[in-house]
Amino acid sequence: MKSVRSCIGTLVVLVLFRVGEIAEACSCSPVHPQQAFCNADVVIKAKVVGKKEVDSGNDIYGNPIKRIQYEIKQIKMFKGPDRHIDVVFTAPSSAVCGVTNLDTNGKKEYLISGKAEANGKMHVILCDLIMPWESMSATQKKSLSQRYQMGCDCKITRCATFPCEISAPEECLWTDWVTEKIIHGRQSDHYACIKRGDGSCAWYRGVAPPKKEFLDVEDP
């Protein structure tokens, strides 16, 4: 009986430990790249050339707050302040949404989006749009310069299960998950949700700028 109680006690401890782990895990809702672009303060193309852990003040109990500091070389800014970004901060662990796996050899180019901080700095989390430049489609790269911005007043609604539909003309229905069983499929890689002349929004595909006829309400 004693050993049974001991086993039950151990099981309870393990369950509570796992609950604690799950509670601390970082969770991100899937977003279309255009949504990530529109939600960000800063969107840049850059190389990462250094990384270190730094103190960033103290919490309410007086304990030091740690952050990872990436030194970067900005190549191009698509959205953000009128100055170069030199430093990117993030949390020290992926469990609290820190981005900890960027290559720091200065060779790989990244698209990095996040929140602006003062003096040429920004903060990023796992839920931000951060990806190797070489893995992006031609449409995604082209859309960073203008097309995504043209649709920031639109709402992209993710379809998790059929049936699903838009509730307003300012919405575009994102169906990659239900049609391809992946989050980032054709619509993510090759489409942008663009506002048209009558105020409605619709998916547009292609590297070329949208035609005037499309903006003047032409079915995509």
Annotated binding residues for Zn(2+), as ranges?
26
17 Cα distance to chain centroid: 29
Positions of E strands within the chain = 42-58, 64-79, 87-90, 109-117, 121-123, 130-132, 155-158, 171-174, 191-195, 201-205
For residues 214 and 196, the answer to whether their CB atoms sit within 8 Å is: yes
Q: Which of 112, 191, 194 is nearest to 150 (CA)?
A: 194
Annotated binding site: 26
157 Cα distance to chain centroid: 16
With vertex at residue 27, the alpha carbon angle to CA 25 and CA 28, rounded to the nearest 5 degrees, is 155
Q: Is the peptide bond before 92 cis (omega within 30 degrees of 0)?
A: no
